[in-house]
Structure 1
Amino acid sequence: MSTIVETAIKDAVKMVREAGQLLLQAMDDKKVITKNGTANFVTEIDLKVQEILFGKLLKLLPDSNIIAEETADNIFALDKYTWILDPVDGTTNLMYGYKYSAIALGLVVDGVPYAGIVYNPFLNEMFTAQKGKGAFVNDSRIGVTTNGSLSDSLLGYGTSPYDRGKADETFRITKNVFNKCRDIRRSGSAALDICNVAAGRTDGFFEMELQPWDYAGAAIILEEAGGRITDWQGKNLTYISKSSAIVTNGLIHKELLDAIK
């Protein structure tokens, strides 16, 4: 890969870490805006993080495309260098001081996911990966679990809270999965849930609907850690459209796919 891309990735890690300090600010006096959909919010912190990173990312790779959660006119295409940004994954957590949110950033090169950065400033955990170079948290290599049985698995899940019409199906499926696994968790941050699978802290994760910025940064971290991510039909994600998602260590993937049917 070209030197300009390698340099851009290193600089992006530093920029994401710096922007993460904004998430540590108290929410007491920060404006909260309700977007379209139920429980869909954006705070002044989301907007500020995106504003800061947007301009800097364009300078790192001039003429690159940026797909970002708080942008109204995204160009959903991967025909050039494309950054995919979630300025705050876990906004509701941030609003309530739950202290489990992250900045998530992915880079697609030549139409292929190439790098991922997910930073949780509350735990000071920086997850990173580049295609073919492994996955890391704070520069220590990580890998998925070797557990091959759903019955022995700890799983995470998401509720797709912006579309309450999916609630009945989500919880029907979750109950079925819960009865077949060891236990289940819901954190409120899909990017961190995926990274937890990558780091071997959980064995899998599933959610009925994610946007590209929810999974783009974390997905390559997972894959470089030895894991697998697909939609609920077992197909690869597109990175330009919303999708269902199943994330596993690879060994329980088929079993989890079967369990959500």
Structure 2
Amino acid sequence: MSPPPDSVPLKDFEILATELARVAGAEIEAAMNRTVAVDYKGTPASTRDPVSEVDNSVEILLRARIGEQYPEHDIIGEEIDERPGRHHSHVWAVDPVDGTANFVNGLPLFASSIGLLIDGTPEVGAVWCSTSHLLRPGVYSAHTGGTLNFDGNPMVRQRNANLRAGLLGLPGVADLDSPRFHSRKTGSAALECAFVAAGLLAGAHFLSPNLWDVAAGVVLVKACGLELLQQRGNGWNAFEKFELASMSGDLRLWSSQLVMGKKDATAALIHSDAAARDSLR
């Protein structure tokens, strides 16, 4: 029997999430040395949204590890619909391989993301990244009230005062109409969240991420004191928690437009989004 949820410090949950992310990363790295089976979601002829055998095997492994310690907790994963603790206050959001198209093509820009929500609020996050600010794989992690860590050690964001322009992660490939920023598209929302937290990207914009794409990453971003905004109606508001319009709604169905990063970066992203919408009218 696991201890009552309220009695477990968030730091302990972060330690577990970090270990889970490391385990996932080790499985992913091992698979890079062999040919993996790949299928595609959607129609039989689809070439978009691939899913590999590694996506499935890693999620099975992560679910088993979480279940060993907290069998009553709920788990929402990208590849498996099973819900062991539906309606429980503690929900683990798991994306075994975020950036699968990159992974199966050997492009080293992908991640594995483990987030913990408590009553819908993202409290703990750990993201294993195929590369990092140290040019090697590692795990960025944080919990509410804590600092950003890399491989279990506190990380201090370094800013190069010589830079005239920063980088922004965009959902498309079009460049920004801004002399202060250049656009990039990595193909992994979890990776971009971690890179924003680490200071590698000044900001990022996600049009319709799923819960498992960003549940861990938003914790990293908030731990760094960066801005995190969600579009609601015609405006942008501070993001606080994952919730649906219907109180009885399933968090698995959550999806919402987000921007994150430094204030000047989020302002540029919101301006770019508004300009793109105006051009379509």
- Shorter chain as normaliser: what TM range? 0.7 to 0.9
Q: What amino acid does structure 2 have at the position aligned with 1:108?
A: L
Question: Displacement of 1:197 after TM fit?
Answer: 1.1
Following the alignment from structure 2 to structure 1, what is the Cα–Cα distance between the partners of residues 10 and 69?
A: 8
**Cα deviations across residues 202-258 of structure 1 (Å, max 9, x unaligned)?**
211112221111111111101101112223442326263012221112343234312
Q: Cα distance 1:226–1:144, how it changes in 2: closer, same or farther (>3 A)?
A: farther
Change in 2 beyond 3 A, CA 1:7/1:184:
same
Q: Verify: 1:12 aligned to 2:17, yes or no.
A: yes
- Correspondence 1:95-174 to 2 at 5 A: 95-122=104-131, 123-138=136-151, 139-143=153-157, 152-159=165-172, 174=174
Structure 1: stretches of 5+ with no match in the other structure: 160-170
- Identify if the C-alpha distance between structure 1 residues 254 and 79 changes in structure 2 by more than 3 Å, giving closer, same or farther: farther
Q: Distance in 2 between matches of 1:201 and 1:5?
A: 26
Compared CA separation, residues 253 and 106, structure 1 to 2 (3 A): same
CA contact (8 A) 1:144 1:203 kept: no
Q: Do the aligned residues in 2 keep the contact of 1:113 with 1:220 (CA within 8 Å)?
A: yes
Matches within 5 A, 1:164-203: 174-175=174-175, 177-179=176-178, 181-203=180-202
Give the superposition deviation at 1:46: 0.4
Asked if the contact 1:9–1:115 (Cα under 8 Å) also holds between the matched residues in 2, the reply is yes
Q: Which residue of 2 aligns with 1:34?
A: 40
Unaligned runs of 5+ in 2: 1-5, 244-250, 275-281
Alpha-carbon separation, structure 1, partners of 2:28 and 2:169: 23
Q: Tell me the TM-score normalised to structure 1 length.
A: 0.82
Q: Any idea what the Cα deviations from partners look like across 1:91-140, whole Å, max 9, x if unmatched? A: 01100111121110110123321100000245222100010011122313
Structure 1 residue 60, shift from structure 2 partner: 2.1
1: distance between equivalents of 2:156 and 2:191? 14
2:208 aligns to what SS in structure 1? strand
Q: 1:111 to 1:207 in 2, by over 3 A?
A: closer
RMSD of Structure 2 on Structure 1 (CA): 2.7
- Asked if 1:234 corresponds to 2:236, the answer is yes
TM-score calculated relative to the size of structure 2: 0.77
Q: Percent identity?
A: 23
Change (3 A) 1:62 1:209: same
Which amino acid counterpart does residue 190 of structure 1 have in structure 2? A
Equivalent residues of 1:79, 1:111 under 8 A apart: no
Distance 1:90 1:254, change over 3 A: same
CA contact 2:177–2:272 (8 Å) conserved in 1: no
Q: How many residues align?
A: 244
Per-residue CA distance 1:56-84 (angstroms, 9 max, x = gap): 11222221110110023569976511100
The separation in 2 between residues aligned to 1:144 and 1:130, in whole angstroms, is: 21
Q: Give 2:154's aligned amino acid.
A: S
C-alpha contact 1:142 1:225 (8 A) present in aligned 2? no
